[in-house]
Amino acid sequence: MKTLRTIADVRAAVRAARADGATVGLVPTMGAFHDGHLSLVHRARSESDLVVVSLFVNPTQFGANEDLATYPRDEGRDAELAAAAGVDILFAPAVTEIYPAGFATSIHVSGLTEVLDGAARGPHHFDGVATVVTKLFQIVAPDAAYFGQKDAQQVLVVRRLVRDLDMPVRIVACPIVREPDGLAMSSRNVYLDAAARERATALNRALDAAEAAVAGGRTDAASILSAARAELAAAAIDPEYLELRSADDLRPLEGVASTALLLVAARVGAARLIDNRTLEAPST
Ligand code: PAF
């Protein structure tokens, strides 16, 4: 595995591989790898000849009061894990390589980005994501790019971006990877102390309860949300949002007619956590 720092070096390496007929898979990350990231790498490895992982803690997607300064960073460990997982190129640029002096462009995806995490974190968040993802796609020009379904809204934003700007890249959403007790893996889980870590398992229980409600025929939003909210309340968690939305375009839903997304965000101890579940109406 090569660690590359410059756009020019990545372009040269990808060009050389493409000249030999290689297909290219990109896994965009902010590092602090866990098994969720590695599942994206494994999927990319199984489908691509050249696997590029970007490691870049993107400042433009963090708000002024968010955790940019403290976001976990350990490039040495990440590089070891990436090499062991079969990554060919680790692209770990400096901030100035991605945002040189005078950088003035921002990509905004309307509609999908004003709700849920866009409302909770502010409009800069998805503008930052869309801008850096666009840059990464321009730099690496991958055939496919791999994202975790834990960031369900991000996946929809990236799909819309790619569709609207005619980017020739296939977006692959990979399943959420969970700890044995159900907590969705996240780089931010390191912020949880023991008590908060225990309480955080309520997010998955809330999604389980919602799924059980739907399986039991309670497909209206009020019943689903109240089943989920009861699990959160039992762990003294007051969610930032808990919403039933369309899995295609995030419009609010009054019930599960076919497929829906239940999305939750909550502050638990020192961590802000998100999770979601796709809910399917029981077949009649
Ligand atoms: O999901 C993430 O880690 C980030 O939002 C991404 C896609 C790497 C963009 O910075």
Report the nearest-CA residue for atom 9 of ligand 1. 129
Mean of pLDDT values over 195-224: 98
The two structure tokens encoding residue 248: 């295609």
Backbone angles phi and psi of 257, in degrees to 5: -90, -40
- Model pLDDT for residues 154-186, shown as the tens digit of each residue: 999 999 999 999 999 999 999 999 999 999 999
Q: Is the CB of 149 under 6 A from ligand 1?
A: no
CATH code 3.40.50.620 region(s) in the chain: 2-174
Query: Residue written as tokens 């390496």?
Result: 13
Whether residue 189 has its Cβ less than 6 Å from ligand 1: no
Query: Cβ contacts of residue 228 below 8 Å, gap of 6+?
Result: 206, 207, 209, 210, 242, 262, 264
**Could you tell me which CATH class the domain 187-279 is placed in?**
alpha beta
Ligand 1 atom closest to the CA of 129, numbered from 1: 9
Give yes or no for residue 228 CB within 6 A of ligand 1: no
* Fold (CATH) for 2-174: Rossmann fold (3.40.50)
pLDDT at 284 over 80: no
- Reported as a pLDDT band with limits 50, 70 and 90, residue 90 is very high
Please list the residue range(s) of the chain that carry CATH number 3.30.1300.10: 187-279
9-37 per-residue burial string, b: 16 or more CB within 10 A, e: under 16 = ebeebbeebeeeeeebbbbbbbbbbeebb
pLDDT, averaged across the chain: 98
Kindly tell me if the per-residue pLDDT of 212 is higher than 90: yes
Cβ atoms within 10 A of the Cβ of 247, count?
Answer: 17
For ligand 1, atom 8, which residue shows the shortest CA distance? 29
Provide mean pLDDT across the span 71-80.
Answer: 98
pTM attached to this predicted model: 0.98
Please tell me the distance between residue 151's alpha carbon and the centre of ligand 1 in angstroms: 9
Q: Which atom of ligand 1 is closest in space to residue 158's alpha carbon?
A: 7
Whether the per-residue pLDDT at 118 is higher than 80: the answer is yes
Q: What average pLDDT does this structure show over 109-114? A: 97
